[in-house]
Structure 1
Amino acid sequence: MFYWFLKLIALGPVLKLVFRPQTDGVDHVPEEGPAILACNHLSYADWLFMPLTLPRRVTFVAKAEYFTTPGLKGWLQKQFFSGAGQVPIDRSGADAASGALLSAKKVLGEGHLFGIYPEGTRSHDGRLYRGKTGVARLALETGVPVVPCAVIGTDVVAPPGKTFGSFTRPIVRFGKPLDFSRYEGMENDRYILRSITDEIMYEIMRLSGQEYVDKYASQAKKDDSKKAEAEAKAKAETASEQKKAS
């Protein structure tokens, strides 16, 4: 498969040689059969380093546009994302979230590993944010175990807002599989979904050592952006007043 060519012949050896990622707990990932790998999200490089540490393919969902763009550029883009272990969001879903869930269930139904970032978006400040309950719903509807995992140092290699950062050896840690079969049939109970998600996030926090913030990452980004704008405006107004007074 193109994926294994990309990983074993091209990309994999280069990343391993240059960055020498450290791993811990790989034995917690099933050697066969489906499992959900729930990971923190520090950088766009996470989906490169985490799967690199495993002998099995890890599949993520990506925007459908990455697979439907016409022309040579679109074909190359499709080959890259397909080869790198990503599948398009199922457009038959009512929205992006349900479409992603449908795609994930197909991957797991075929006995593969599925990677998911419960935070929904990258952390902009290195802290761990509240998880969205999609990971819990997926676990209950499929009945597969959830393996918590944490990447450390990828935000140094590729910081938010930058293509490249500085060198470090990323660390990838995997925790013991979490079994939620005791909640079978309760996938529509929002309190159960929140409880499961919080348990998963706690394990990710324990593995990563990150500070936890009980707020969605997307909202935290907006709040920090507004705060920065307000501070910049206040600073500009102060400077203007000082200039008038001088």
Structure 2
Amino acid sequence: MLYWLLKYILLGPWLRLIWRPQVEGRDNVPESGAAIIASNHLSFSDSIFMPLMVKRKVTFVAKAEYFTGKGIKGWLVKMFFVGTGTIPVDRSGGRAAQAALDTQLRVLREGNLAGIYPEGTRSPDGRLYRGKTGVARLALESGAPVIPVVMLNADEIQPPGKIIPKIQRVKIRFGRPLDFGRYAGMAGDRFVERAITDEIMYELMELSGREYVDIYAQKVKTQQSKTAPTPTDTGAEPPPAPVAV
């Protein structure tokens, strides 16, 4: 109920009015039946604008910590994720990835739309990175088609670290459904799953026109965090020590 209230009354109409989304290929999303919506990931706002442009509900998963925050901020974050149809998943321990896949498989087996970011995290620099094979496992185990979709300028509207999006027309492009029925019964074959994932990433590259980098985005983020300048590196004064009281 909250999802539909936000999408069609409280949030959706205002987002359409202010950001005037320009959408190509929306008819590629089936009106009924299971399908996987596989998107590039440029910005936090991807999870707001893309589902808004689909007539049906698109279900993503997110770590359970987003639903257990304290205070007003925690409540607002929880309401946002609940209102956008996101399902909490316990991502602690060694079965975190499997828990997320199991949840999305349930969504697909109920005949609904499951959303996924194959890169696994937001791009650190706007380029498209190597996809993780979870999207292929979903396609093989569910038999659902994969609908590639690209956010064309979300990183311009809301760059990393920016809380309030810039007022600029949102551009989104949906590609034709990808059918992997020729690989039926081959779930668990890592070579097949890699081939499927690479095919999906190639479609995202073609649709977006973004440069593709054949390494995982998370690896780049980890490297960047290790080489980030310290106050001493930049010549700035170090922050003051906390005052004892």
* Structure (1/2) with the larger helix percentage: 1
- The aligned amino acid for 1:215 is I
Q: Which residue of 1 aligns with 2:198?
A: 198
Partner Cα separation in structure 1 for residue 185 and residue 115 of structure 2: 23
Q: Assess if the C-alpha contact under 8 Å between 2:63 and 2:90 holds in 1.
A: no
Q: Assess if the C-alpha contact under 8 Å between 1:153 and 1:168 holds in 2.
A: no
Q: Which residue of 1 aligns with 2:38?
A: 38
Q: CA deviation at 1:133?
A: 0.3
Partner Cα separation in structure 2 for residue 187 and residue 26 of structure 1: 29
Identity of aligned residues (%): 60
Q: Which residue of 2 aligns with 1:174?
A: 174
Q: CA deviation at 1:227?
A: 4.5
Q: Assess if the C-alpha contact under 8 Å between 1:90 and 1:103 holds in 2.
A: no
- The aligned amino acid for 1:22 is Q
Partner Cα separation in structure 2 for residue 124 and residue 222 of structure 1: 10
Partner Cα separation in structure 1 for residue 91 and residue 214 of structure 2: 31
> Where do 4+ consecutive residues of structure 1 move more than 2 Å?
65-80, 90-94, 164-167, 222-230, 232-236
User: Closer, same or farther in 2 for the Cα pair 1:211/1:73, shift >3 Å?
Assistant: closer
TM-score, length basis structure 1: 0.87
Q: CA deviation at 1:10?
A: 1.0
Q: CA deviation at 1:89?
A: 1.6
Show the 5 A alignment for 1:91-240.
95-229=95-229, 233=233
Pairwise CA RMSD: 2.5
3-state SS of paired residue (1:54): coil
Q: CA deviation at 1:182?
A: 0.8
User: Closer, same or farther in 2 for the Cα pair 1:184/1:90, shift >3 Å?
Assistant: farther
User: Closer, same or farther in 2 for the Cα pair 1:47/1:203, shift >3 Å?
Assistant: same
Q: Which residue of 2 aligns with 1:87?
A: 87
Partner Cα separation in structure 2 for residue 65 and residue 224 of structure 1: 25
Q: Which residue of 1 aligns with 2:51?
A: 51
Q: Is 1:15 aligned with 2:15?
A: yes
Q: Assess if the C-alpha contact under 8 Å between 1:93 and 1:102 holds in 2.
A: no
Q: Assess if the C-alpha contact under 8 Å between 1:130 and 1:213 holds in 2.
A: yes
After TM superposition, the structure 1 stretch with the greater mean CA deviation from structure 2, 30-39 or 150-159, is 150-159
* Count of residue pairs the alignment pairs up: 235
Consecutive unaligned residues in structure 2, runs of 5 or more: 237-245
Partner Cα separation in structure 2 for residue 105 and residue 77 of structure 1: 25
TM-score, length basis structure 2: 0.88
Q: CA deviation at 1:76?
A: 5.6
User: Closer, same or farther in 2 for the Cα pair 1:68/1:212, shift >3 Å?
Assistant: same
Consecutive unaligned residues in structure 1, runs of 5 or more: 237-246
Partner Cα separation in structure 2 for residue 6 and residue 14 of structure 1: 10
Larger Rg: 1
Partner Cα separation in structure 1 for residue 63 and residue 171 of structure 2: 27
Q: Assess if the C-alpha contact under 8 Å between 2:124 and 2:221 holds in 1.
A: yes
3-state SS of paired residue (2:220): helix
3-state SS of paired residue (2:125): coil
